[in-house]
Amino acid sequence: GPGSFAEREDKPEMTLEGALKIVPLRVATAYACDTRDGDPRGYKVIGADKGIAGTITDIWVDRSEALFRYLEMSVGGRKALIPMNFAKIDKGRKEVRIHALMANQFANIPALANPDQVTKLEEEKVCAYFGAGMLYAHPSRTEPLL
């Protein structure tokens, strides 16, 4: 189902050079946002119910692919990751909208053991949480559309 995940190794993925593959920009200082795209750090995170869930604090880059994989947010006094494919960044409003979850559900995003790295298992759990939200975040989502 949408909330299932593979029992991958609880170790971070590495680049061919032996460095951590996916890290926040505070670690991967050689990477930056293109000025034309804008930098979402500081933007509000808005849930499907239009409630404010938190604030974007960093962006996680995949150093092997040279692309952003996650947004990091502050929620309930801790940090949590948002997979980029679930985020819609609105530069004009300085918001990141997430259709998968209601604002109060962000506090339960699976946590990371280390704030500067993500393991393969942690990635699976985070993505599964958002995937499950697409179907289960609100009772109305479990019913047929017709």
Q: What is the pLDDT of residues 75-104, one digit of tens each?
A: 999 999 999 999 999 999 999 999 999 999
pLDDT score recorded for residue 145:
62
Contact in structure between 74 and 54 (CB atoms under 8 Å): yes
Instruction: Give per-residue burial for 48-72: e unless 16+ CB within 10 Å, then b.
Output: beeeebbbbbbbbbbbeeeebbbbb
- Give the pLDDT confidence score for residue 115 in this predicted structure: 97
Q: Tell me the per-residue pLDDT of 31-73, one tens digit each, with 9 for 90 and over.
A: 999 988 889 999 999 999 999 999 999 999 999 999 999 999 9
User: What average pLDDT does the structure give for the chain?
Assistant: 94
Q: Kindly report the number of other CB atoms within 10 A of residue 82's CB atom.
A: 25
- Give 146's pLDDT tier (boundaries 50, 70, 90): low
Name the band, by pLDDT with cuts 50, 70 and 90, for residue 140.
Answer: confident
Q: Return the residue matching tokens 């930098």.
A: 39
| pLDDT given for residue 138 in this prediction | 86
DSSP state letter for 146 = -
Torsion angle of C-alpha atoms 127, 131, 136, 138, degrees rounded to 10? 90
- Length of the chain equals 146
> Global pTM?
0.93
